[in-house]
Amino acid sequence: MINVKSLVKQVNPVPDETTTAAADGMSARAYDELVGLVGAEAAERQAGQGRGARSRRPSRRGVLVAAVACTAATVVAGVAVLALQDPKQPGGGDGGGSGLADEPYFAKTAELEAASVLIVRARLGAGHEETVDGLTETVATAEVVATAKGGSPAGSEIELAYTTPGSGPETAELAAGKEYVLLLDELDGGRFTLINTTQGAYGIEGGHAVAGGDNDVTLSPGVLKALRLTS
């Protein structure tokens, strides 16, 4: 008589549960004999015990823990990538910053004065607004009272372009009719501009050069003497 179970096992490339149990637990012949002695259900339990001794399925709790761990690792990696790409973090290039944020700031007196093309004591005149490349600035003449560096003698006038006060978060507080120490860079066309909005202008009060609130760099004794001022 043909062993049906063995025949099924040979022709079925994907064995069913019973065939697998037989293959894992015992030979097909032994399994058939066991069925004859104790019944199919008991035989299947015996074969299942043989499989379990060699290979256990992972518990549902173990699978869930592994899934949570993988998810957490993915989230941490994603945050790390975003931190590296965040244009706002220190050290990383800032693609959305304002032009004012790129202004040079000089920590030492010598650096500030060396970077300035022209250093004068001047009285600022009335100005008018101009828009250049989408930016509005004030252009005014300034009468030179004394010169510490550069080629503008006393009595001459210079044309000064500066960001209109109050037009942005960082502007020099300049007012027509007042005297200032101006530390300037030269633009094309002979105009001058402040070396930066923080350190480009010092107020004059009682013969003293007064730095702005965000500027802790004083002018050198030589510059002050040339401008007939004291610190």
User: Tell me: the pLDDT tens digits for 21-43?
Assistant: 444 556 677 767 766 776 777 66
Query: Residue 77 domain-assigned?
Result: no
Is the domain of 206 the same as that of 112? yes
Q: pTM for the full model?
A: 0.56
What are the structure tokens assigned to 182, written together?
């101006």
Establish if 115 belongs to a structural domain.
yes
d(CA 198, CA 187): 18
Residue numbers of the domain that contains 188: 106-226
What digits encode the pLDDT tens for the residues 104-140? 899 999 999 999 999 999 999 999 999 878 788 999 9
**12 is a domain residue:** yes
Q: How many structural domains comprise the chain?
A: 2
Q: Does residue 61 form part of some domain?
A: no
Residue 219: give its domain's CATH number.
Answer: 2.40.50
In a domain, 130, yes or no: yes
Is residue 91 included in any domain, yes or no?
no
67 CA to centre of own chain:
32
Give the pLDDT confidence of 203-218 residue by residue, as tens digits: 999 999 999 989 999 9
Q: Quick check: is 188 in a domain?
A: yes
Question: Is 80 contained in some domain?
Answer: no
Instruction: Give start and end residues of each alpha helix (H) in the chain.
Output: 4-11, 17-25, 28-38, 40-54, 60-85, 109-115, 221-226
Beta strands in 94-176 (DSSP E): 118-132, 135-149, 157-163
